[in-house]
């Protein structure tokens, strides 16, 4: 047996090549930049759930309040025999509020990258709606989807994209994603999308800098993940979380900032972080209603209806051709 076969560092699985390339490219870029989907390993997903419970993180509470107030109207507007395709599957409460009101839904199709969260949310949802056909789809929703054949013909397909996840995409990418969704929903389908709204800086910045430090832990967990999956040597104490609202661009910009000059190993490469060098890890774009309408137009869509939560912090918008 060759020694080479054992050259893999112990207690680590062999580095995933695609991931390694993405990270090497991101750390080689200037300024350094890593994609925000890297947050969501098991621990990151659990931390995100905790973020949603922080008093400062108004988004989730506002969206739930919105659905509590308006799910009935939304369901009425959508009509019966809807196929609900959900981008993501980690929104059990919101989805339940909506599904409860829908008349004779044809199927619920949660779309999620990893199959484990998919299986879990499927089980939970089936327990609440024993008669609802569930057709989970393990896929990357930024790529063209091949939707499963529905159990019966839907009146129309509604793509449900809650949580303001659309905000993680820069405007050009967001328009591209909406245009892709436009194709998937078909001629008389629609998109029901959660959009966080522009508001005062203090409220927005607090949401991404909770006092309990959960968001900071969520951000830095990306480094833990890279240590584990790629054998990097990030020291958690040597970096800090920074989230600031860029009012000009209308977005929260989250960075991981180096506390000192240090070298980090990424596979066979090394990268140098200067003291206070900031690596971009997330945008969370905020929109005015006018700006989002303009974005929809760019994607060949029109805003049919807008619902707001009682405090006017967050919107749910229905887009059609
Ligand atoms: C799940 C993408 C909507 O941008 O507000 C929360 C993720 N990041 N706190 C957001 C997140 C830091 C969240 N989204």
Question: Probe ligand 1: pick from 88, 165, 221, max atoms within 8 Å of CB?
Answer: 165
Is the confidence at residue 49, as pLDDT, over 60? yes
Please indicate, yes or no, whether the overall pTM of this predicted structure exceeds 0.90. yes
Nearest CA to ligand 1 atom 11: 48
Atom number of ligand 1 nearest to Cα 48: 6
Q: How close is the Cα of 36 to the center of ligand 1, in Å?
A: 9
Q: What is the pLDDT of residues 223-253, one digit of tens each?
A: 999 999 999 999 999 999 999 999 999 999 9
How many Å lie between the centroid of ligand 1 and the Cα of residue 170? 14
Substitution site in 284, 287, 315 for ligand 1 pocket (most atoms within 8 Å of beta carbon): 284
Per-residue pLDDT tens digits for 103-142: 999 999 999 987 888 898 899 999 999 999 999 999 999 9
Q: What is the pLDDT of residue 17?
A: 83
CA of 113 to the centre of ligand 1 (A): 17
Residue 21 has pLDDT above 90, yes or no: yes
- What mean pLDDT is reported for the chain? 93
**Nearest atom, ligand 1, residue 207 CA:** 9
Q: How confident is the model at residue 92 (pLDDT cuts 50, 70, 90)?
A: confident
Q: Whose CA is nearest to atom 4 of ligand 1?
A: 284
Per-residue pLDDT, averaged over 240-268, amounts to: 98
| 298: Cβ contacts below 8 Å, ≥ 6 apart | 175, 178, 179
Q: Of all protein residues, whose CA lies closest to atom 14 belonging to ligand 1?
A: 165
Report the pocket of ligand 1 as residue ranges, CB < 6 Å.
51, 59, 163-165, 167-168, 208, 215, 282, 284
ipTM > 0.85, yes or no? yes
Return the HEC string of the chain: CCHHHHCCCCCCCCCCHHHHHHHHHHHHCCCCECCHHHHCCHHHHHHHHHHCCCCCCHHHHHHHHHHHHHHHHHHHHHCCCEEEEEEECCCHHHHHHHHCCCCCCCEEEEEECCHHHHHHHHHHHHHHCCCCCECCEECCCCCCCCCCCCCCCCCEEEEEECCCHHHHCCHHHHHHHHHHHHHHHCCCCEEEEEEEECCCHHHHHHHCCCCCCHHHHHHHHHHHHHHHHHCCCCCHHHEEEEEEEECCCCEEEEEEEECCCEEEEECCEEEEECCCCEEEEEEEECECHHHHHHHHHHCCCEEEEEEECCCCCEEEEEEEC
Percent with pLDDT over 70 in the chain: 95
Residue 146 predicted with pLDDT over 80: yes
Given a cut of 80, whether residue 3 has pLDDT beyond it is: no
| Distance separating alpha carbons of residues 51 and 209, to the nearest angstrom | 10
Q: Output the residue whose Cα is nearest ligand 1's atom 5.
A: 284
């Amino acid at each position: 047996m060759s020694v080479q076969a054992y050259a893999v560092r112990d207690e680590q699985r062999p580095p995933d090549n695609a991931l390694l390339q993405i990270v090497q490219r991101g750390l080689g870029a200037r300024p350094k930049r890593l994609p925000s989907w890297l947050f969501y390993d098991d621990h990151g997903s659990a931390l995100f759930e905790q973020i949603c419970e922080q008093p400062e993180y108004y988004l989730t509470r506002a969206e739930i309040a919105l659905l509590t107030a308006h799910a009935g109207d939304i369901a009425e507007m959508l009509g019966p025999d809807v196929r609900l395709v959900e981008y993501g599957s980690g929104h059990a409460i919101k989805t339940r509020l909506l599904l409860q009101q829908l008349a004779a839904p044809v199927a619920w199709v949660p779309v999620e990258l990893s199959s484990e969260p998919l299986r879990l949310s499927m089980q939970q949802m089936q327990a609440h709606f024993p008669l609802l056909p569930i057709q989970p789809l393990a896929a990357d929703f930024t790529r063209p989807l091949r939707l499963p054949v529905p159990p019966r013909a839907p009146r129309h397909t509604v793509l449900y994209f809650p949580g303001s996840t659309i905000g993680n995409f820069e405007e050009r990418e967001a328009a591209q994603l909406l245009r892709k969704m436009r194709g998937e929903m078909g001629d008389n389908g629609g998109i029901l999308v959660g959009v966080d709204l522009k508001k005062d800086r203090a409220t927005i910045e607090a949401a991404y800098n909770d006092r309990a430090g959960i968001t900071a832990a969520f951000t830095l967990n990306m480094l833990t993940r890279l240590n584990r999956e790629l054998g990097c040597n990030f020291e958690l104490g040597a970096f800090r979380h920074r989230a600031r609202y860029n009012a000009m661009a209308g977005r929260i910009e989250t960075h991981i900032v180096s506390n000192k000059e240090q070298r980090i190993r990424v596979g066979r490469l090394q990268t140098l972080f200067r003291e206070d060098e900031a690596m971009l890890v997330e945008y969370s774009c905020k929109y005015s209603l006018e700006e989002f309408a303009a974005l929809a137009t760019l994607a060949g869509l029109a805003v049919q209806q807008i619902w707001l939560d009682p405090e006017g912090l967050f919107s749910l918008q229905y887009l059609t051709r």
